[in-house]
Amino acid sequence: MKNQKETIRKILLYIRHYWWLILGSLLCAAVSVVFTLYLPILTGYAVDVMVEEGRVDFVVLKELLVKMAVIIMITGIAQWLMNVANNRITYLVVRDIRRDAFHKLQKLPLKYLDVHSSGDLVSRIIADVDQFADGLLMGFTQAFTGILTILGTLIFMLRMNVWITLVVVLVTPLSFFVAAFIAKKTHVMFQKQSEARGEQTGLIDEMIGNQQVVQAYGHEKKALKRFDEVNKRLEGYSLRATFFSSITNPATRFVNNLVYAGVGISGAFFAIHGRLSVGTLSCFLSYANQYTKPFNEISGVITELQNAITCAGRVFELIEEQEETNNGMAEEKIENASGAMEIEHVDFSYVPDKPLIQNLNLSVKPGQRVAIVGPTGCGKTTIINLIMRFYDVDKGAIKMDGKDIRSLSRENLRSQYGMVLQETWLKDGTVLENILFGRKGATREEAMEAAKLSHAHSFIKRLPKGYDTIVKENGENLSQGQRQLLCIARVILCKPSILILDEATSSIDTRTEMQIQSAFQKLMEGRTSFIVAHRLSTIQSADIILVMKDGQIIEQGSHSELLAKKGFYTNLYMSQFAG
């Protein structure tokens, strides 16, 4: 309940930015309610002027009908304006929440994204926000008019007859007790439903993105079994949430019928004794309907709001996650780094009780080429993550040009690096836009020159529209090798001080790899370079080769020096070239 109140408070903080729309909506709701409640009075007058045969006052009746027509028209316009305002409020708030959630994604540390599936994050920003929008819109549309209708009818009824009004007031609290009881039950179910939906979205995203692997390894049955299990849980939570929420309306309708019956019976007694006219009784019965109707609507709104608040809570959890700390000071900046790097007594682990890197020391001079080799899981990519500050060290320090990289802003630090990874990433846009992603303000000519150096120019010219060809999401209309060539062109355009190549040519054929290596040789001239590689043929010219095992540098030296030692590196080398 405390979390619920906190979520509602956060929603109200978003809504308050649009107070003028809320004011307009309330004003329109008030106009709509007042005229809607005035209509039964006119109806009552109309009944009274034509109670007996031959005694119908057509002049008065005509005036009443004209008034009723005008009132109905004004009410319709007010309701339309109110709905426009409510829609505007809802989708402005949804826009703001989605914007804040997406902005937060850009600032979250890599470790958060490592432990949360992309499908769950997508579900929070898309599906959960949509569910929240539905509940919020219903809340605005029905809650405003509902509350005003209840208050308005009570005022009108009190003016007409206090005793009949008392009957109404004494019976209606039952609706609140019923709605409150069911709301508590539904909140838990909606929460579990939302979590299960996020898990299902994550699974679907995972399976669609890796369908080739799933089919290649005959994993379809296991994938279906896993999906059925998640789907079954979602079905169970959804059915229970729907069941509890569906009880609300019939239960409140039963109470409302009691109210109507109470008004009819008590009003009949008053009419028999001449204390109430037939027209006034018909007006009272109309008010009884109008008074009880909002309770049905509000009970439905409460159910929708339970779901909406639950979904909003999941989105706010994301928005309030701890951001990546910057620790950057204005005076601590590096422009055009020389490339000198020092790793001093560094300890690091992804999981606290599972040490990975311990007491790592390394000194890299400007312009040196450092290759990092070793078996899978030994910590090669982890070193790259640490020098890029995707993760911060647990102990020790990493320095660039003598400055602790933690004293620099991440933006300033990363502007010194150019990076090509094994896993390529291309954005939805043209080939040219993907290359220009490497450097802000670069020209088309510079992008084309970078493409020529990376040997991407020839295949780009063969594309339907050359550099203006649209690249689909993550480059699905290009081969893996072509995607990697574009990523290499992007980093060549960047002209970084320090170059990082993490299995950069792993998806390229041997002939193209030789051309790329030639391009890299030119690119690495005068630049400090870190090269992570499994194929030892690509790093033989490195100044320093670091051989890693279990998070430790166990050997260090040039290719010829390490071969002469006949140690672990020699075994790795011979395993690849013994044939």
Q: How far is CA 549 from CA 159, 380, 452, 534, in A?
A: 88, 9, 38, 13
The whole-number pLDDT of residue 515 equals 67
CB count within 10 Å of CB 531 equals 23
pLDDT under 50: residue ranges of the chain? 328-330, 579
Cβ contact 560:547 at 8 Å:
no
Please state whether beta strands 395-400 and 341-348 pair in parallel, antiparallel, or not at all (unpaired).
Answer: antiparallel
**What proportions of the chain, in percent to the nearest 5, are helix, strand and coil?**
65, 10, 25
Closest CA to 527 of 562, 501, 503: 501
CA distance 367 to 352: 35
- Which tokens hold the place of 75? 């009410």
How buried is 55 (Cβ within 10 angstroms: 0-12 exposed, 13-18 middle, 19+ buried)?
exposed
DSSP 509: -
End-to-end alpha-carbon separation of the chain, Å?
A: 69
- pLDDT computed for residue 317 by the predictor: 85
Question: What pTM, to 2 d.p., does this model score?
Answer: 0.64
Contacts of 369 (CB under 8 A, 6+ apart): 524, 528, 529, 531, 541, 542, 543, 544
The answer to whether 247 touches 299, Cβ cutoff 8 Å, is no
Per-position DSSP letters for 285-339, written without gaps between them: HHHHHHHHHHHHHHHHHHHHHHHHHHHHHHHHHHHTSPPPP----TT---SS---
Model pLDDT, residue 6: 83
Burial class of residue 403 in the structure, from the number of CB atoms within 10 Å of its CB (0-12 exposed, 13-18 middle, 19+ buried): middle
Amino acid at 142: Q
256 closest CA partner among 299, 301, 285, 296: 296
| pLDDT value, residue 147 | 77
User: What is the distance between the alpha carbons of residues 181 and 306, in angstroms, rounded to a whole number?
Assistant: 13
Residue 109 burial (CB count, 10 A): 16
Return the CATH number of the domain spanning residue range 2-319: 1.20.1560.10
Distances (CA, A) of 571 to 88, 458, 541, 575: 68, 39, 19, 6
Dump the DSSP string for 359-392: EEEEEE-TT-EEEEE-STTSSHHHHHHHHTTSS-
User: Could you give the C-alpha distances from 64 to 45, 56, 156, 277, 279, in angstroms and in order?
Assistant: 8, 13, 19, 18, 13
pLDDT (0 to 100) of residue 192 = 80
Instruction: Say how far apart CA 304 and CA 111 lie, in whole Å.
Output: 34
* pLDDT at residue 73 in the model: 93
For residue 531, give the DSSP letter: E
What does the pLDDT read at residue 330? 44
Please answer whether residues 535 and 502 qualify as being in contact, where contact means their C-beta atoms are separated by less than 8 angstroms.
Answer: no
Strand pairing report for 403-404 and 395-400: antiparallel
Question: What is d(CA 485, CA 458) in angstroms, rounded to the nearest whole number?
Answer: 11
Give residue 487's pLDDT. 84
Query: Distance between CA atoms of 142 and 294, rounded to whole angstroms?
Result: 8
Let me know: does 362 contact 553? Beta carbons within 8 Å.
yes
Give 71's contacts (C-beta < 8 A, 6+ positions apart). Answer: 35, 38, 39, 42
Could you identify the residue written with the tokens 């690495």? 524
Q: Could you tell me the fold of the domain covering 424-495?
A: Rossmann fold (3.40.50)
**Ramachandran area for residue 111 (φ above 0: left; ψ -120 to 50: alpha; else beta):** alpha
Instruction: List the domain boundaries for the chain.
Output: 2-319, 424-495
Q: What's residue 506's pLDDT?
A: 63
Q: For residue 464, count other CB atoms closer than 10 A to its CB.
A: 8
How does DSSP classify residue 17? G
**Strands (DSSP E) found in 492-551:** 498-502, 528-532, 544-549
